Amino acid sequence: MSNFFTILHEDTQSAARTGVMQLPHGAVETPVFMPVGTHATVKALTKDMLHEIGFSIILANTYHLYLRPGADIIEAAGGLHGFSGWNKNFLTDSGGFQVFSLALFRKIYEDGVRFKSHIDGSAHMLTPESVVDVQARFNSDIQMQLDVCTGYGVEHKQAKQALDTTSRWAVRAAEAWRQKRADGYQGLLFPIVQGNFYTDLRKESAEFVSSLDTPGIAIGGLSVGEPFSVYADMLAYTAALLPKTKPRYVMGIGTPDFILEAVANGVDMFDCVLPTRNGRNGSYFTRSGTINIKKEQYARDFGPADPECGCKVCREYSRAYLRHLFKEQEILSSVLASYHNLAFLYTMMQEVRQAIAENRFSEYKERFLSRFTGTSGNK
């Protein structure tokens, strides 16, 4: 377990690095973007499409899958892999964010969190231990601890209370996970750094989480509505406090500017629903920024969504046709847009790893963002 992550190369001009994680369902090269498959499916895409693009790890959501279809059914099917047919790696989040953002009712206790299902209003209780158990029954390759999330702008006292609870829960989760490992479970546990946007709390959390000696560490509570400059500052501050030998995962970032800022600070993993969600709403990534395919200007544009993209959507379909599909609300519109946006990010991450290996990541980042956002990375 201690050597599942190998750093291959550290960039000489930044904190960026390349590496490889040896997980139960295959190796994962880092830095890596992970598509989100909330219900054990990346919306609008088949597992074969994800294989075709090249992904080696995707996410699933513990909260949603715990409520429906339930851990019993997934376990009986052979875990998430047997249930979905995806034979590479799954990372599952703890469900903590969904409990606090989606639930109709929730109350935090020392033991865990009580909430009502957003589906039928039924009452449920999640504890750090039960969340580890559910994810082990899912046979998650990487699982997350149950944590307490706080939004941008909360007062220090509230952020401190949430952090203290998260830290106590991390200890309990780690103990439960080690017992599961002793029973033969192969998946890894990542605790989560919290502390909102207060440097003293971030430092306290980073040092505490590092002391737990888990395989990897996640950085939570970023990209929750704060300005980009605040995100960048807190990310840089937090990442620098974490041990270099372990993979670092920033939760919930999925646009090139946020991703490249994370890579520059030595972050190895990231995920977000935005590439597919925005795709379903007609937004396509291109090297020159995002385009909204519904615009009239594309009605007679017979070129590809992104002339510099080699994915099969850009090879085989025109902007005019993609616009037509979107305007007619055809299901294929969601399929093609989601495929393209994920392929775009996959190619970008390949380029990122190559740039790091050649000690030119900072140059790559500046050149990419100067076109994509019209800046060199500062919003």
Which H/E stretch holds residue 351?
helix 331-357
Q: Is 233 known to be catalytic?
A: no
Look at phi and psi of residue 378 and say left if phi exceeds 0, alpha if psi is from -120 to 50, else beta.
Answer: beta
Q: How far apart are CA 251 and CA 237, in angstroms?
A: 16
Burial class (CB in 10 A: 0-12, 13-18, 19+), 140: buried
Give Cβ neighbours of residue 77 (< 8 Å, ≥ 6 apart).
83
Q: How far apart are CA 206 and CA 222, in angstroms?
A: 14
Please report how the helices 228-239 and 256-264 are oriented relative to each other, as an axis angle in degrees rounded to 10. 30
Q: Is 271 known to be catalytic?
A: yes
Q: Which residues on adjacent β-strands are paired with residue 172?
A: none
Q: How far apart are CA 288 and CA 351, in angstroms?
A: 16
Q: Which of 11, 257, 271, 306 is catalytic?
A: 271
Q: How far apart are CA 195 and CA 164, in angstroms?
A: 9
Give Cβ neighbours of residue 76 (< 8 Å, ≥ 6 apart).
none
Q: Which of 11, 93, 257, 306 is catalytic?
A: 93
Give Cα 121 to chain centroid, integer Å. Answer: 28
What positions carry a catalytic annotation?
A: 93, 271
